[in-house]
Amino acid sequence: MVNSPRSTSNPRSAGRGGRRGGRGAAWKTPDTKHPRTGHGVAYGKLELTPKDHYSIHKPDNAQDTLRVMVMGGNEEVGKNMTILEYGDDIIIIDMGIQFGEEHMRGIDGIVPDLSYIKGREKNVRAVIITHMHMDHIGGIPYLMPLLPGVPLFSAPITLALIAKKLEYTPEVKVDMRPIDEATTLELGNFAVSFIGVSHSVPSSLAAIIKTPCGTVVHTGDFKVDLDPKDTEGKRYLEQMKALGDKNVLALLSDSTNATQSGNQLMERDVMHDLDTIVAQAKGRLLFGMISTNVVRLAQIITLAEKYGRYVAIGGLSLKTTLEIAQNLGYINPTPGTLLDISEVRNFPPNKVLAIFPGAQGEQNAAFYRLADGDLRDVRVMPGDSVVFSSSVIPGNERTVQFITDKFYRLGAKVVNYRMLNIHAGGHAKAADLGEVIKMVKPKYLIPIEGHHAFLHHHAAAATATGFSRDKIMIADNGQVMEFTKDGVGTLTKKKVPVDPIFVDGNQYNVVDAETLRERKRLGDEGVMVIDAIAKDGNIVQVNIASLGFRKESLIPMVEKTVTDFLKREFPKVRLQKDPQGLLQDRLEKMIETDMKAAPYVALSIAQ
């Protein structure tokens, strides 16, 4: 609770926050809480009350083989998606995105390839989303248009975030249907139920899929509390243990933290160190976090209230998360606790706590802009404490270090998870994974969600418990796993297409690998633009301009070489098909051979 007197600047009281979503979509929230999360809540026309049962399709074929294919997430961290297929029935679990890497110029992300089901879209009975993180939902705007009429199932808070994201692409229509732990789905030959799992976001679900060949469990992202102290943690643990009595055929299990030994920290372990940080800080507290981590957001707001600080939220993605969490009852700030970010300057430093998305170093995120001094309303000053309240996702180490250095240069005190236990990861570590295998007792283990090495670490955690290595399937993306009605599983050598789909801007602008290679070349070597004029079958004038080609000493030689080449070769090829393209290819090879440079050559010949 915040008990300090309010400033005369009359900060906005948050209460249960703005009821308006982007583009004017309205929230409808019940006045009284209901034990079933999402009951009575709606976002615009999207009802978020979970149903007990959905029946999409009756079984109508008599096949004998279950096929399982991990379409993304088994060779990288991100773009998670798994397909289960039995006869004419297909279900898809998760539809994530992998964010573009530094060498992928202009690429916003990479999504899984759905070409395998092209022509059989009507066989897809459902898309099931395990939780609200972008590596599980980020591909929806790009891939769901390929599956017209297919329903998408997930927890209310996850659907609310998806609905918010889809406001940026209003032409994408998705039939979203809310579920929870009490929901069952009849999807042709698949019967699906759910259990709750612990993660860094609420209402994360594991899918229990009954098939004619046996029961398959897909954990989604999860961690496990082996000594729970609260009712929810105890329920999750009991549900996980109960799977051991279901004769599980295959366990598809999260491998993100399989390389880390021991057990994952629980939120109660983190809360103590977070409390210490907030209690001892003399100046402003500036937190960076992953924007969808509702659990961490709630913890930080609670501690701010405890120590008499106001809370300001910077960044649209984090404001969206807070709005959704408030309307579904996961976060309930005391009226007056929340400030607009523009009001921070009106309060004493020891009364301010601001939270920003972008602790992974994302260049356009508010936390990055804060480090860069490019955030209009808040500037880092000596005496501020900057807290990275998230561990570093593999692959982001360089960018996180980059903004850490910037904060130090600005005179801030920087605290990260390596110094204190201020982040409990959302993924089970090696010892936890071993315990889960002992609980679930699957016949086969299929490590998913992680680089190839992570999958092998997961396998090692399993064999350390006595699990047979022969019953572990370490599959590449697209590699087909088959199971018979006798419960026999095979990691086949068959593969379905999983070519990376590069996304640039929106779902209509998908970049192929050749375009990406051209962009890389332009960035590495520059471009040379050659304008030539031909008259009476001969080149009479050549103009050359270059961008990004920094070998200035070569320019005079290049101009002479190119001019001589065109004057000599153009008359020979001018009557052939596409003489311009032919000469452009020859020029590139000549420049690379003679000058050891490979700029992109753009040749134009006017006749």
Q: Which CATH number is 23-262+426-503 given?
A: 3.60.15.10
DSSP string, 505-555: SSTT-EEPHHHHHHHHHHHHH-EEEEEEEEETTEEEEEEEEEES---GGGH
Query: Could you give the 3-state DSSP secondary structure of residue 295?
Result: helix
Domain ranges of the chain: 23-262+426-503, 266-415, 526-606
CATH of 266-415, one of 3.90.10.10, 3.40.50.720, 3.90.650.10, 3.40.50.10710: 3.40.50.10710
Q: Within a 10 A sphere around the Cβ of 551, how many other Cβ atoms?
A: 14
SS3 453: helix
Confidence of residue 101 (pLDDT cuts 50, 70, 90): low
Q: With DSSP H G I counted as helix, E B as strand and the rest as coil, what are the percentages for the chain, rounded to 5?
A: 30, 25, 45
The secondary element (H helix, E strand) that includes residue 86 is strand 81-86
Q: Could you give the C-alpha distances from 231 to 37, 173, 221, 237, 238, in angstroms and in order? A: 16, 38, 20, 10, 11
565 by DSSP, 3-state: which?
A: helix
Q: What is the structure's pLDDT at 24?
A: 59
In 326-397, the DSSP E strands lie at 338-339, 352-357, 385-388
Tell me if 503 sits within 8 A of 106, measured CB to CB: no
Question: Tokens representing 175?
Answer: 């039939």
| pLDDT tens-place string over residues 566-604 | 999 888 888 888 888 889 888 888 877 877 777 878 888
Confidence of residue 8 (pLDDT cuts 50, 70, 90): very low
Token look-up 């109660």 returns 268
- Taking only the tens place, the pLDDT of each residue in 376-412 is 889 999 999 999 887 666 666 777 888 889 999 999 9
Tens of pLDDT, residues 255-278: 999 999 998 877 777 788 889 999
Separation of alpha carbons 387 and 305, rounded Å: 18
Two tokens, residue 479: 């590699």
Q: Can you tell me the distance from the alpha carbon of 299 to that of 278, in angstroms, rounded to the nearest whole number?
A: 11
**Tokens 């880390």 sit on residue:** 260
Residue 221 is classified by DSSP as S
Q: Using the predicted structure, report yes or no on whether residue 104 has a pLDDT greater than 70.
A: no
CA distance 99 to 110: 6
Name the CATH topology of 526-606.
Ubiquitin-like (UB roll) (3.10.20)
* 107-162 pLDDT tens trace: 668 899 999 999 999 999 999 999 999 999 999 999 999 999 999 999 999 999 99
Burial class (CB in 10 A: 0-12, 13-18, 19+), 118: exposed
The overall average pLDDT reported for the chain is 87
- Is residue 523 within 8 Å of 576, Cβ to Cβ? no
